[in-house]
Structure 1
Amino acid sequence: MKFTVSEIAQMLDGTIVGDEKITIDSAAKIEEGRPGCISFLANSKYEAYVYSTGSSAVIVNKDFTPKKEVTATLIYVENAYTAFTILLEEYQKRLAKNKSGIEQPSFIGENSQVGADVYRGAFSYIGKNCIVGDHVKIHPHSFLGDNVTIGDNTIVHPGARIYQNTIVGKNCVISANAVIGSDGFGFAPQTDGSYKAIPQLGNVIIEDDVSIGSNTTIDCATMGSTIIRQGVKIDNLVQIAHNVEIGKNTVIAAQSGISGSTTIGEQCVIAGQVGVVGHISVANKTKIGAQSGLGKSVKKEGLSFSGSPARDLNEHLRSMALVRRLPEMEERLKDIERKQETSDFQ
């Protein structure tokens, strides 16, 4: 897929210095550019590359002033990093639009409604009483159970499983092999030591503009709904348990797990391999560092935590600094003991 520099500048509300007719067919890091590529410069550490890059065009911030000649065409924008992201999103959308029609074999159940310009890949399955919006892309080997709703412009990638009664909003991305709406981990202990499965009768609600990574699982609620609010971004290999609620624009990195009936606030950042216990609430704008274990509610907004068990970030860093000094402190203690023993003997 190709764009001219002029088209890109219009898309990004940018100003061109150089040849606006150059054709761009791919994107590249500024240090790895070649003719036909577009790159961006947002960090001054990489400025040296703008003078030597092979890319045909570079997106730069409005306040960038070259210190020497630049051979690439420059596109000046308010924020180069954001503009480059917008460009990649548009490129991805246009690639997705290339998929259209119904491939065979595929299945759709009775009373299901499908909107305009929907792509249904080979071996995809749509159950009964489903509603699929306009411009939805359902890739091969995807499964939509009965009574599923998929909003406009959402993409369901290969092998994704969306169980019955799930509601997915507009402009969402469900990545390959994600499982949405499977049973939560609910088992009641019995007097004989065994466990009895508790029926999981709720569903999952995913609001607009949500991205869900590959092999992520989001369990249905025992009763009511597991809810992923608007703008949430979830990485690969994340576990969201039953009756969890994730607030707007929160991001969760890979291999993290949120236990049942926990509420995560808006604009939180949960790094990789974080574990969160069940039945707690986490305030808006909380940040939790990688491999942390959060075991109690966070009531004040904007705090940062790290460690297992998770503690205030500054407190954790001070503790880690002391831990690094333990060998030295041990030697000093032994030296004091040796001196004391010598003194006592004398």
Structure 2
Amino acid sequence: MQITAQALAHFLGGTVEGNPEVTVNRPSKIEEGGEGSISFLGNLKYEKYAYTTTASVLLVSQDFEPREPLSATLIRVEDVYGAVGQLLQQFGAQEAGVSGISERAVVSPQASVAEGVAVGDFAIVSEGAMLGPAAVVHPQVFIGRNVKIGARTVLYPGVRILDNCIIGEDCILHANVVIGSDGFGFAPQEDRSYQKIVHVGNVIVEDRVEIGAQTTVDRATMGSTIIREGVKLDNLIQIGHNVEIGAHTVIAAQTGVAGSTKIGRYCRIGGQVGFVGHAEIADGTQIQAQSGIAASITEPGKAWFGSPAIPYRDFIRAHSVFKKLPDLYRSLSRLQRAFDAAEKKGRD
């Protein structure tokens, strides 16, 4: 990928200071640089490197005021880290060899493909699907009927987006993510067998969501399973049907969320946490790894731990006592023997 500073500034919504025709072909760390590279200054702790870097282009904030001469061309942007994220997505797509629409991809004539979309080898884009501007579809991705993919969203190899699901803008779905699989719904019968409940809803993933490899999000029975803006899901997470996850919540690997649970905004959830179905979790809740959530949490901003989970500090105090139980038992036994001896002596 070879691109001029001017074209980069247009792509990132920034402005150029310096030579607009200088070209770059790779990103670099600011302390390493190198001719033909683009770096960034997002933290003023690294400002000293701005004056020595050999990078050709440097991303900086709109309000950055250099105190020494600079050799790099500047691109000023509102959000440096956001711009870096966009930049790395594009460079990553190019490094993976995804550019344009592969002759070995299958794109339905009834699909809508916007300008700048890349579709890799053996990807399938079904009828009625809509791919937004600069979306990147890596090899072997499946996009079902009437799926909508937002601008600049990246789907890594093996991602499956099943019929009627919606993915927002600037999302990243890592390898083998499945969006829109059937929920786990079965009705018990008189003969003790189970009748499958067909799930006819969909999944809505809002903007700037990142979903880790092999995570699955089930479609709703009716209506929508919803992943709100800015949510970050780690690898190997199971999200059940009709779940809603609030904006900017983060969830670590191997967590399972049972159907119809509603998780609030700005929550932080550790790995291997299990949620019972139909629970409601308040905004700002923090849950320690391997906890089990067996009921709703209604008070916002609290930390929880254990299985079933209790308030975090209570668990820590209880665990501290638990470790001392053998000593406490021996002390109690000594006291009991002393009491028995004193009682016997009193009777004598």
Which category describes the TM-score, using the shorter chain as reference length? 0.7 to 0.9
User: Contact between 2:27 and 2:88, CA under 8 Å: does it hold in 1?
Assistant: no
The aligned counterpart of 2:89 is 93
Q: Structure 1: how far apart are the matches of 2:54 and 2:308?
A: 50
1:229-240 alignment runs, 5 A limit: 229-240=228-239
- Mark the CA change 1:27 to 1:170 in structure 2 (over 3 Å): closer, same or farther: same
Select between 205-214 and 104-113 the one with higher mean Cα deviation.
104-113
Q: TM-score, normalised by structure 2?
A: 0.77
2:28 equivalent to 1:26:
yes
Q: Structure 2: how far apart are the matches of 1:214 and 1:34?
A: 31
Give the CA deviation at 1:342.
Answer: 3.4
The aligned counterpart of 2:194 is 195
User: Contact between 2:264 and 2:284, CA under 8 Å: does it hold in 1?
Assistant: yes
The aligned counterpart of 1:66 is none
- Mark the CA change 1:24 to 1:164 in structure 2 (over 3 Å): closer, same or farther: closer
Give the CA deviation at 1:289.
Answer: 1.2
Give secondary structure in 2 for the equivalent of 1:333: helix
The aligned counterpart of 1:177 is 176
Cα-to-partner distance string for 1:135-189 (whole Å, 9 max, x where unaligned): 0100001001111110111001000011101011111111100000000000011
The aligned counterpart of 1:317 is 316
Give secondary structure in 1 for the equivalent of 2:304: strand
Q: Structure 1: how far apart are the matches of 2:275 and 2:41?
A: 37
1:292-307 alignment runs, 5 A limit: 292-307=291-306
Give the CA deviation at 1:338.
Answer: 2.6
Give secondary structure in 2 for the equivalent of 1:311: strand
- Mark the CA change 1:86 to 1:227 in structure 2 (over 3 Å): closer, same or farther: closer
The aligned counterpart of 1:152 is 151
Q: Structure 1: how far apart are the matches of 2:109 and 2:2?
A: 41
User: Contact between 1:295 and 1:309, CA under 8 Å: does it hold in 2?
Assistant: yes
Give the CA deviation at 1:283.
Answer: 1.3
The aligned counterpart of 2:20 is none
1:127-138 alignment runs, 5 A limit: 127-138=126-137
Q: CA RMSD in A?
A: 3.6
Q: Structure 1: how far apart are the matches of 2:163 and 2:146?
A: 6
Select between 238-247 and 97-106 the one with higher mean Cα deviation.
97-106
| Unaligned 5+ runs, structure 1 | 14-22, 60-72, 74-81
Select between 255-264 and 98-107 the one with higher mean Cα deviation.
98-107
One-letter code aligned to 2:297? V
Q: Structure 1: how far apart are the matches of 2:92 and 2:246?
A: 28
Give the CA deviation at 1:309.
Answer: 0.7
User: Contact between 1:12 and 1:86, CA under 8 Å: does it hold in 2?
Assistant: no
Give the CA deviation at 1:97.
Answer: 5.5
- Mark the CA change 1:327 to 1:235 in structure 2 (over 3 Å): closer, same or farther: same
Give secondary structure in 1 for the equivalent of 2:321: helix
User: Contact between 2:26 and 2:91, CA under 8 Å: does it hold in 1?
Assistant: no
- Mark the CA change 1:25 to 1:184 in structure 2 (over 3 Å): closer, same or farther: closer
The aligned counterpart of 1:277 is 276
Cα-to-partner distance string for 1:270-316 (whole Å, 9 max, x where unaligned): 11111111111111111111111111112222121111111111211
Length, aligned pairs only:
306
- Mark the CA change 1:41 to 1:90 in structure 2 (over 3 Å): closer, same or farther: closer
- Mark the CA change 1:256 to 1:264 in structure 2 (over 3 Å): closer, same or farther: same
The aligned counterpart of 2:76 is none
Give the CA deviation at 1:25.
Answer: 5.4
One-letter code aligned to 1:139? H
One-letter code aligned to 1:257? G
Give secondary structure in 2 for the equivalent of 1:305: strand
- Mark the CA change 1:11 to 1:135 in structure 2 (over 3 Å): closer, same or farther: closer
Identity %: 41
Give the CA deviation at 1:105.
Answer: 1.4
2:242 equivalent to 1:246:
no
User: Contact between 1:24 and 1:56, CA under 8 Å: does it hold in 2?
Assistant: no
The aligned counterpart of 2:138 is 139
The aligned counterpart of 2:259 is 260
Give the CA deviation at 1:321.
Answer: 1.6
Q: TM-score, normalised by structure 1?
A: 0.77
User: Contact between 2:232 and 2:248, CA under 8 Å: does it hold in 1?
Assistant: yes
User: Contact between 1:163 and 1:182, CA under 8 Å: does it hold in 2?
Assistant: yes
User: Contact between 2:157 and 2:176, CA under 8 Å: does it hold in 1?
Assistant: yes
Q: Structure 1: how far apart are the matches of 2:338 and 2:173?
A: 67
Q: Structure 2: how far apart are the matches of 1:344 and 1:284?
A: 57
